[in-house]
Amino acid sequence: MGVLAILILVTFSSFSTLHFVQHIQSIQQRQSLLGDVLSLAHDSLTTSTDLPWISQQLGIDLSVVPITELESDFILYYRLQDEQVVLEQEAHGYRASKAFTRDGQRLVISGVFLGVENQLVEGVFSLARKLLEHDARSLDRYSYLTWVTTERKPLYRQSQESSILSFQTLDSYQTWFLEFTPEPTALEFGPVEFNNDLSLVSIFIVIVMAVLLTGLAVYWLVQRFEVGLQRLERASARVAAGHLNSRVKVESKDALGRLGNSFNLMAEQIQRLMGVQKEMIRAVSHELRTPVARMRFGVQILEDESQDEYLSKQLSDMDKDLQELDELVDEILTYARLEEGGPILEFKHANLLELVEQIVDETKRRTDKVVVTYESKTDAKEHLYSDIEFRYMHRAVQNLVGNACRYAKEKVHICYSFSDGLCRIDVEDDGDGIPEKDWERVFSPFTRLDDSRTRSSGGYGLGLSIVQRIIFWHGGRAQVERSVWNGAKMSLIWPQSHEED
């Protein structure tokens, strides 16, 4: 509806503007034409007694007055002093006035013209003939009087009225008058414009103007809409990146403005819910950790004092269960910090091969069940470094290696590579692998794939979820594939350089 309204407004404005321009041009043409008629009357005025005869010839009541009599009308006075032909619209026509100098006195000749009628045209020719009797070059100072041959172009059509021949263009827009004479040359008066309607050319110009202006209007609307969408897109990206306090700047009340308000309300609601969740998790973790710590302390005392082998074993199992519960609380808190809207990460340029070597050494100290090896597929020193939050990236790779050791049969292999500005760490094992249908689901929190990996292997279903959130905050992704030994291959891929939002 907005574009249609603009199109209608532009079209109306175009027609109005063109009509106004044509009206101005018509007034200017009438000024020039009547100025020539007044100049011809002035040049034919040899004595004061000639004025009635000239008025009779032209069919106009002409008057000649000193310009000083018009000083009261200072606008008219100064326009006449400026050698202009002044037109004043009256009830039955236009009063045309023009100033000239005679015998050192400034005079004004004026008359009311009803239109270009036959008597006016015949009078013009009569006065012109009279001037030509005294000066053959007297027509040179008139714009609308000239000598022409009687041969006319076939595009004009002819009509005869009294002693005057009139020729018109096919659209009847302009007319020329010729004095009827058998001679090969004749006096021509014109062109005179009668038709003020819009011509085909004018209509074409209006259409072109309307299309251009409508195009500009549509471009302005689309550009304005695009700018609003870009703002919304940037705000959405910042919210997705964890900056929940990001809002869209709303500057209008249209559909885009309403969308921005809805987005802001949604962001506020998400921020509020995340805040509530954050406080709840902190409160629950605190309330859980305190009694768990007391229970572990009590169990350990009982275990130290108990002499019964069976009771000692039960107390040891209870202590392990409480330890698992404590570790689960820690995992939940870690995942919550990564999920709650963006942890505060301190990215530093770190050597990734040193990170891998450190994790391999730590893993070898904890387990001798599998053989852990590593390699780097790039030797370029500048490719071994990346902008990472060392503590979190260490946690992510360690989780993958620990997960692989848990399910591997004999070996785990870590590989670092670099390509097209992306760093990649692959962790492969020779275990039973993960079914392809579960490759996406494996990163969901608390997911346990019991058909391939049993509870006896340990884990809480949060390790891979934490890995995915860590690599997400590094601007990368985690993915699952099949290893060369048909086991699982976990991969972390992220850009070498970190760009702040």
CB atoms within 10 A of CB 489: 22
Q: Model pTM? A: 0.45
Same domain, 52 and 168: yes
178 belongs to a structural domain: yes
pLDDT tens digit sequence for 207-250: 777 777 777 877 887 888 888 888 888 888 888 766 777 888 88
User: How buried is 230 (Cβ within 10 angstroms: 0-12 exposed, 13-18 middle, 19+ buried)?
Assistant: exposed
pLDDT at 184: 65
pLDDT over threshold 50, residue 163:
yes
81 belongs to a structural domain: yes
104 belongs to a structural domain: yes
Tell me the CATH number at 488: 3.30.565.10
pLDDT tens digit sequence for 243-276: 777 888 887 777 778 888 888 888 888 878 777 7
pLDDT band per the 50, 70, 90 thresholds, residue 153 = very low
User: How buried is 318 (Cβ within 10 angstroms: 0-12 exposed, 13-18 middle, 19+ buried)?
Assistant: middle
- Please choose, from the candidates 180, 112, 181, 175, the residue with its C-alpha nearest in 3D space to the C-alpha of residue 144: 175
Share of the chain above pLDDT 90, in %: 14
First to last CA, the chain: 38
Same domain, 334 and 388: no
SS3 at position 352:
helix
Query: Of 343, 372, 398, which one is at a domain's C-terminal end?
Result: 343
Query: In 429-466, which positions are buried (b, 16+ CB within 10 angstroms) versus exposed (e)?
Result: bbbebbeeeeeeebbebeeeeeeebeeeeebbbbbbbb
Q: For 427, phi and psi rounded to 5 degrees?
A: -120, 115
Q: Vertex 486, ends 484 and 487: CA angle to 5°?
A: 100
d(CA 335, CA 470): 9
Q: How many domains does the chain have?
A: 3
Query: In this predicted model, which residue has the larger pLDDT, 234 or 75?
Result: 234
pLDDT tens digit sequence for 297-349: 777 777 777 777 777 777 777 877 777 677 677 766 776 666 655 555 788 99
Query: Of 343, 369, 399, which one is at a domain's C-terminal end?
Result: 343
- What's the one-letter identity of residue 139? L
Same domain, 98 and 165: yes
pLDDT at 175: 77
Query: Of 343, 378, 399, which one is at a domain's C-terminal end?
Result: 343
Domain assignment of residue 6, given as a range: 2-197
Give me the half-sphere count of Cα atoms (radius 13 Å) on the Cβ side of residue 117.
Answer: 10
Q: What are the CA-CA distances from residue 33 to residues 88, 179, 484 (Å)?
A: 15, 17, 98
Same domain, 56 and 185: yes
Strands, sheet with 145-149, edge to edge from the N-terminal-most edge strand: 145-149, 185-193, 174-179, 164-168, 157-161
Q: Return the sign of the alpha-carbon dihedral for residues 323, 325, 327, 329.
A: negative
Same domain, 318 and 461: no
